[in-house]
Amino acid sequence: MRVAVVQHDIVWEDKDANFTRLAPRIEQAAATGADLVVLTEMFSTGFSMRTDVIAEPAGGPSSQFLVDRAAAHGVWVCGSCPEVHDGSERPHNTLVLAGPDGTVHRYRKLHRFAYGGEDRSFAAGDERVTVDVEGLRVSLFVCYDLRFADDWWALAPDTDVYVCVANWPDTRRSHWSALLRARAIENQAYVVGGNRVGQGGKLAYVGDSAIVDPLGEVLAGGAGGEALLVADVTAERVAEVRADLPFLADR
């Protein structure tokens, strides 16, 4: 399976502007032969806590944008957005994964970033999610989840590829890069990290998106500006690494 990460800037709280900017970027990613296109956390709004302004129902404009792009290009597309679930008072930071056949899967961020006030504005998810994407087992996470290894460990036996979308600021950029590689090494699986660039909510973002292999080697990476990262990932490589180095059995 070929994975493409769209490392992009975000226009603050302006969904239509972001849809306009991202549509050609997704088309460009699909043109590389990608099967899965990864956007960022809160791709349509930025990491805003003004949920009275940005929240939308499940199946609202942000997730519909992903569904439409997936169908238009025959690819899987994912990114997170603020969705209200089952009439809850607060939205969830929801990673929406849309398939080319109209299939939609949702992962609701487990760990809210209290340091930034996310716990006051968003509800917490309560379920880990793994999806079969083109024959690979893909587990979904959002930004701050990267710091909580036990959730990643729990899914490792049934995961070939982890996807983590983020708005991770430049002040802790070394943590982001180190944790992406650590999650890949300790779980012997691919890790795909998609992070934004630019300015938003008084914070700066430099990307450092990466596609990391099961031994912790960076197959594709980008920092600084908007970029497109592409790499091929296979279930066979995960199985090979785990057979050669059967570390998971010792947990």
Helix/strand/coil percent split, the chain, to 5: 35, 35, 35
Distance CA 110, CA 181 (A): 21
Look up 81 and say whether it is catalytic: no
User: Do the strands 104-108 and 161-166 form a parallel or antiparallel pair, or are they unpaired?
Assistant: unpaired
∠ Cα 12 106 43 (to 5°): 15
Look up 143 and say whether it is catalytic: yes
Distance CA 146, CA 163 (A): 10
Residues facing 130 on adjacent strands:
139
Distances (CA, A) of 109 to 170, 218, 246: 21, 25, 30
Position 70, amino acid = A
Q: How many residues does the chain have?
A: 251
206: its two tokens: 């430099």
Residues 6+ apart with CB under 8 A from 103: none
Look up 41 and say whether it is catalytic: yes
Secondary structure tally for the chain: helices H, strands E: 7, 14
Check 83, 109, 118, 164 and give the catalytic one: 109
Check 41, 56, 83, 118 and give the catalytic one: 41
Check 56, 81, 83, 143 and give the catalytic one: 143
Dihedral angle sign, alpha carbons of residues 30, 135, 68, 5: negative
Q: Which residues are catalytic?
A: 41, 109, 143
